[in-house]
Amino acid sequence: MKTSTLITLFTVTIASPVAVMAKSCVKGGVYCGSSLLRRGNYKAHIVETLEDAGVGTDDWHVQNALFDCLKDGDIRYRAFCDIGCGGTDSTDADYCF
């Protein structure tokens, strides 16, 4: 076997469990950006969703925007929490302070 083939197989083997560990949001749930970021790789999706809604994409907006979770882990912008998000460390829906 060629070295490049072995490296590819090794990379796929190592990367696969990481992809499985990321959790998408649960359909019908309400999540702040900070909660979505802890669940998985949502940064680019959050930024794109905020841009589409005409909302800022700086870290404060990414962390404190509120989203509805749609099917297949998709999200829809709901609101921006000026003062910050609450409920982010619980199993209940996130909310604005």
The per-residue pLDDT for 21 is 45
Per-10-residue mean pLDDT, the chain, length 97: 46 41 86 95 97 98 98 97 94 95
Nearest to 74 by CA among 21, 25, 3: 25
Partners of 67 in the β-ladder: 31, 77
Per-residue pLDDT, 89: 84
Domain ranges of the chain: 24-96
Prediction pTM value: 0.77
From 16, 42, 30, select the one nearest 69 (Cα to Cα).
Answer: 30
